[in-house]
């Protein structure tokens, strides 16, 4: 599997995907005030209103990333905490999960307790790396960022899918190297409906080699989700 397998959607497919994106944002905004439960890879995750639901976009990453026993993992843009939870279940010695949305942080804490991995969990409100200390280093950094360079409303639901000017992606690649151990690796999600080629370019410019490790086709509009493993050149 390599990066040449990225499938470009047609203009009509892009329009259908854009409509789907609006439906997802609307669903996040209208989640019950008490929260909801989402089935994801055989497990039920709790999600608060406005927090990104566990969806197929992160499945290629969760199903294909490798966490060695005892490794320290940082999960950026954790959302409901699904990637962080699976990292812990796969044997991570410590998982730091961060998100700019305080409700996402609370959701991730609830899910850590739900799956009995709270002893290795540290969840923080953070704008990308803002809450990561200068001397914190990780074996693995994971991220399921907003995929698309589009204007966004100021609400958290919109910001889970849209990254105006690719601010989050640029911040991620500007600073991730300062917190990654020498032989560390990154696992990151993207989609052919998003700015996947821009993300790969940012990774290359930051000194990383990218390799596709998983993909998942969803629906009838050539929508594909990808997972990449990145290592320092």
- Give, for all 233 residues of the chain, the pLDDT tens digit: 777 778 777 778 778 778 878 888 888 888 999 999 999 999 999 999 999 999 999 999 999 999 999 999 999 999 999 999 999 999 999 999 999 999 999 999 999 999 999 999 999 999 999 999 999 999 999 999 998 888 777 788 788 888 899 999 999 999 999 999 999 999 999 998 889 999 999 999 999 999 999 999 987 667 899 999 999 99
Alpha helices in 44-115 (DSSP H): 59-62, 82-89, 102-114
3-class DSSP state for residue 139? strand
Question: For residues 218 and 195, what is the distance between their CA atoms, to the nearest angstrom?
Answer: 17
Question: For residues 65 and 83, what is the distance between their CA atoms, to the nearest angstrom?
Answer: 10
Residues 122 and 147 sit within 8 Å (Cβ to Cβ): no
**Closest by alpha carbon to 139, among 96, 171, 173?**
96
What pLDDT is attached to residue 166?
94
Q: Where are the domains of the chain?
A: 3-232
CATH classification code of 3-232: 3.40.50.150
DSSP 69: T
User: Residue 43 forms beta bridges with which residues?
Assistant: 40
What pLDDT is attached to residue 13?
76
Cβ partners under 8 Å of residue 202, min gap 6:
166, 169, 170, 173
What pLDDT is attached to residue 96?
98
* CA–CA–CA angle 144, 162, 151 (5° rounding): 160
Residues 155 and 109 sit within 8 Å (Cβ to Cβ): no
């Amino acid at each position: 599997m390599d990066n040449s397998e990225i499938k470009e959607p047609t203009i009509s497919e892009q329009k259908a995907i854009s409509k789907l994106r609006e439906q997802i944002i609307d669903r996040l905004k209208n989640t019950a005030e008490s929260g909801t439960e989402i089935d994801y890879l055989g497990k039920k995750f709790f999600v608060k209103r406005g927090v990104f639901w566990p969806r197929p976009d992160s499945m290629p990453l969760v199903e294909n990333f490798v966490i060695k026993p005892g490794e320290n993992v940082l999960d950026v843009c954790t959302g409901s905490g699904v990637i962080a939870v699976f990292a812990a279940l796969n044997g991570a010695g410590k998982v730091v999960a961060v998100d700019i949305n305080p409700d996402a942080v609370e959701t991730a804490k609830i899910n850590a307790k739900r799956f009995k991995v709270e002893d290795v969990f540290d969840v923080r409100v953070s704008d990308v790396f803002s809450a990561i200390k200068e001397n914190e280093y990780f074996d693995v950094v994971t991220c399921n960022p907003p995929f698309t360079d589009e204007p966004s409303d100021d609400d958290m639901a919109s910001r889970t899918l849209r990254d105006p000017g690719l601010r989050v992606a640029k911040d991620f690649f500007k600073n991730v190297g300062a917190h990654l151990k020498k032989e560390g690796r990154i696992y990151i999600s993207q989609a052919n409906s998003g700015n996947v080629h821009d993300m790969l370019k940012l990774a290359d410019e930051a000194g990383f080699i990218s390799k596709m490790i998983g993909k998942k086709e969803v629906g009838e509009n050539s929508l594909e989700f990808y997972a990449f493993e990145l290592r320092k050149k």
